[in-house]
A and B are shown apart, each in its own frame.
Chain A
Amino acid sequence: MSVAATARRRKRVNPLQRAERRQAIGFISPALLGLAVFTVLPVGLAIVMSVYDWPIFGEREFIGLGNYAELLSKSPDFWPSLRNSFLFALGYVPLNLVISLGLALMLSARIRGRAIFRVLFFIPVVTPMVANAMVWRLMLQPAGPLNGISEAMFGITLPNFLVDKNWAMISIIVMSVWAGMGYNMLIFTAALEQVPASVIEAAELDGAHGFTMLWRIVLPMISPSVFFASVMTIISALQVFTQPQLLTNGGPGTSTVPLVMFIYNTGFKFHDLGLAAAAAWLLFAIIISLTAVQFRAQSRWVHYEH
């Protein structure tokens, strides 16, 4: 740009506007600086790390796509951990959505103590997941209350939930639904309160009630919220870590090690940060593509008001 052009441009900006721009830079710089250091830099670094053999301490070595190749073809734990993450999501997401929607529907009726129940179902969402997991570890012990009650009342000995290979993942899913579904319940509650009374009344006049009302009227009306909730719930399911770490520690064997635990173990137990970074990229790619697929499919079932 020539000096003359710059000068002309300057002229069009009055001093007040120039002051506002200067101050905007001041207001924005803490956030931009922080984001550069703590998000942009790590993202860039993650790309570099994923093509290096990068131990926590010691010499680093460029190995091209070696880490990715190792994950996809050699690492004995990567595919199982991916499978475990998907198994978890497959159980967790539908259960979470169905139960939270069911509760939101029941709580939308004019019943006593609605506010109290809403807060109750929401509490585990905001308490430390570590503490929630401890509570459930006690519940699910062989000598714990669940099995104790079953034995005392029915004479039936329940399986050892946290170490039985058929039950460990189910236990993690159930516990996670308990801890997480209050969030979606609130999203759905808010959506249900926005459904206009006139629509419900009109449908009533046409003879709709119960299941027909739910399927034909209510669900389409709140479909944007259902869409939002399912996208967010799938993302959070693929990030599961704390619950299996504390309930089963990935066991029995590696049957409940999800992808994030694989990343954590690879990086901080086996000190292979490069391999962990590569696995993290694969996780990111999976999350982004699943989300993209959902956005493309939404026109089939999500109705937005125009």
Chain B
Amino acid sequence: MSTDAGRVEDTRDVLSLGRPGTILAWVSVVVAGVLFASPLIYAFFSALKPANEVLATPPSLIGSEVRWSNFLEVFTYAPFGTYILNSFLVSIAGVCTVLVVSTTAGYAFGRLRWPGRDIVFVLFLGTLMVPQEVLVIPMFVVMQWFGWVNTFPSLVFPWAFTAFGTFLMRQFFRGIPWELEEAARVDGAGPVRTFLQVILPLAGSAIAVLAVFTFINYWNSYLWPLITVNDYKALGTLPIGLASFSNQTGTRWDLLMAASMISILPTTLLVILLQRHLIKGIATSGLGGR
């Protein structure tokens, strides 16, 4: 597959449009791109305007002055420092949990032999059919039972055990040559040492893709924090903080846009920096659309 991808990487045009067609395609893409980017660009410049100029008519891209200080005022106007910290803590805790659970289970499903393995795996995958929207109601009651409503663990653990990561890691582990593992076994390494010293180091790219997508999912999560968090000042994450901020501050569009830009930044950077890996990850596994 990799050779295939390599051969057609610099694609010819699949519709045989020829040169005029290609130029037309290029113009269309540029127009689409500008239209597509314009809300984000306008929002960014709005974040730099004085408050009363954001909704001025006629609209202008740049206000009477450029106020970088808006990006600082966001933090004094609302507890955005806390929101950002919480979002990072929740996302990182979520990534760590997902990685531990998915790599260990992926190893057991992909590399170890035990009775009933394939049936358990199919049942495991079956749980992927149940969407989060269906689970949130009973999950809230489970949180009540655990005494976890409005706590940090409730933001992390309920969605850290989905079968998806396990599936991804299993698929990757199965592609690692068995000879490597056998060599380790001959040297006297048991499954634990083989897993830690042979398998995991080889799975770096798959682990990175899973980590990034898990981070993005936690970072963007809105419905569940909205349900389980009551005390925004202490436990609010960025999305629910941003949403409540917009309700309180109706008129401060400058700060709302600054806060939006801040929350967009980390995942945008991740995508720009890791574009090759992520695009490959999506192409091969249909990952991340959740």
Q: Which residues of B contact A107 (CB under 8 A)?
A: 29
CA distance A135 to B270 in the complex (A): 20
Which of B37, B43, B137, B163 has the most CB atoms of chain A within a 10 A radius of its CB? B137
B222 touches A242 (CB 8 A): yes
> What's the Cα separation between A209 and B253 when bound, in Å?
50
A210 and B16 in contact (CB under 8 A), knowing A23-B191, A39-B130? yes
How extensive is the interface on chain B, given as a class?
Answer: 35 or more
B114 CB contact (under 8 Å) in A20, A129, A144, A187: A20
Main secondary structure of the interface of B (DSSP, over half): helix
Query: Which residues 147-169 of B have a CB within 8 angstroms of A?
Result: 157-163, 166
Would you call A120 and B36 a contact (CB within 8 A)?
Answer: yes
A46 touches B (CB below 8 Å): yes
Chain A CB within 8 A of B124 CB: yes
Closest to B126 in A: A39
A69 to B43, CA, bound (A): 46
B15 and A218 contacting across the interface, CB-CB below 8 Å: yes
Instruction: Give the 10 A-B CB pairs with smallest separation, nearest first.
Output: A34-B161, A190-B283, A31-B105, A148-B59, A27-B108, A152-B58, A42-B138, A143-B55, A45-B138, A109-B13
- Bound CA span A108–B11, Å: 6
Known: A30-B104, A152-B57, A277-B138. A197 touches B257 (CB 8 A): no
Q: Are B222 and A283 in contact (CB under 8 A)?
A: no
**Please, which residue of chain A has its CB at the minimum distance from the CB of B57?**
A148
CB distance from B184 to the nearest CB of A (A): 14
Q: In the complex, A200 Cα to B18 Cα: how many Å?
A: 13
The answer to whether A109 and B11 touch (CB under 8 A), given A23-B192, A128-B264, is yes
The interface residues of chain A lying within 8 Å CB-to-CB of B11 are 108-110, 192-193
Q: Is B190 a contact partner of A19 (Cβ separation < 8 A)?
A: yes
Alpha-carbon gap, A218 to B16, bound state (A): 11
Nearest chain-A residue to B280 (Cβ)? Answer: A190
B window 210-256: CB within 8 A of A: 216, 219-220, 222-223, 226-227, 238-240, 242-243, 246, 253, 256
How far, in Å, is A181 (CB) from chain B's closest CB?
A: 9
Q: Which residues of B contact A268 (CB under 8 A)?
A: 140, 227
- Residues of B contacting A246 with CB < 8 Å? 243, 246
A82 interfacial by beta-carbon distance below 8 Å: no
Q: Assuming A111-B29, A151-B57, A280-B137, is B8 touching A193 (CB within 8 A)?
A: yes
Could you pull out 12 A-B pairs where Cβ atoms are within 8 angstroms? A27-B104, A31-B101, A32-B105, A32-B120, A103-B32, A137-B246, A138-B46, A189-B279, A200-B12, A242-B222, A280-B133, A281-B134
Which secondary structure dominates where chain A touches chain B? helix
Q: Please indicate the chain A residues that have their CB under 8 angstroms from the CB of B139 in the complex.
A: 38, 42
A35, A123, A134, A210: the one within 8 Å of B242 (CB): A134
Does B137 lie within 8 Å of A242, measured CB to CB? Answer: no
Known: A135-B260, A143-B56. 15 other contacts (CB 8 A): A23-B112, A24-B112, A42-B135, A45-B138, A106-B28, A109-B25, A110-B12, A122-B279, A138-B54, A139-B43, A144-B55, A178-B36, A203-B16, A204-B16, A235-B131
User: What 1/0 mask marks residues of chain A from 240 to 280 whose CB sits below 8 Å from any chain B CB?
Assistant: 01100110000000000000100110011000010011001
Residues of B whose CB lies within 8 Å of any CB of A are: 4-5, 7-18, 21-22, 25-26, 28-29, 32-33, 36-37, 39-40, 42-43, 46, 54-59, 100-102, 104-105, 107-109, 112-115, 117, 120, 124, 127, 129-142, 157-163, 166, 190-192, 195, 216, 219-220, 222-223, 226-227, 238-240, 242-243, 246, 253, 256-257, 260-261, 263-264, 267-268, 270-272, 275, 279, 282-284, 286, 288-289
CA distance A54 to B144 in the complex (A): 13
Rounded to whole angstroms, the CA-CA distance of A128 and B162 in the bound complex is 21
Nearest CB of A to B197, in Å: 15
Q: Which of A43, A131, A196, A260 is packed against the most chain B CB atoms within 10 Å?
A: A131
With a cutoff of 8 Å between Cβ atoms, the chain A residues found around residue B288 in the complex are 125-126, 183
Q: In the complex, how many angstroms separate the beta carbon of B124 from the nearest chain A beta carbon?
A: 7
Q: Is the CB of A135 within 8 A of B279?
A: no
Which residues of B are found within 8 Å of A17, using beta-carbon distances? 113
Pick from A30, A149, A260, A273: contact of B140, CB below 8 A. A273
| Residues on A with beta carbons closer than 8 Å to the beta carbon of B133 | 239, 241, 260, 263, 280, 283
Residue of A nearest to B290 (CB): A236
Task: Give the most central of A24, A126, A232, A288: most B CB within 10 Å.
Answer: A126
Instruction: Identify B162's interface contact among A39, A186, A263, CB under 8 A.
Output: A39
Cα separation A137 to B4 with both chains bound (whole Å): 44
- B residues near A41, Cβ cutoff 8 Å: 138, 142
Q: Is A105 an interface residue (CB 8 A)?
A: yes
| Shortest CB distance B111–A (Å) | 9
Q: Beta-carbon contacts of A17-59 to B below 8 Å, as 1s and 0s?
A: 1011101110110111011011111110110010000100000
A103 to B9, CA, bound (A): 17
Contact (Cβ within 8 A) B140 A119: no
A195 beta carbon closer than 8 Å to chain B: yes
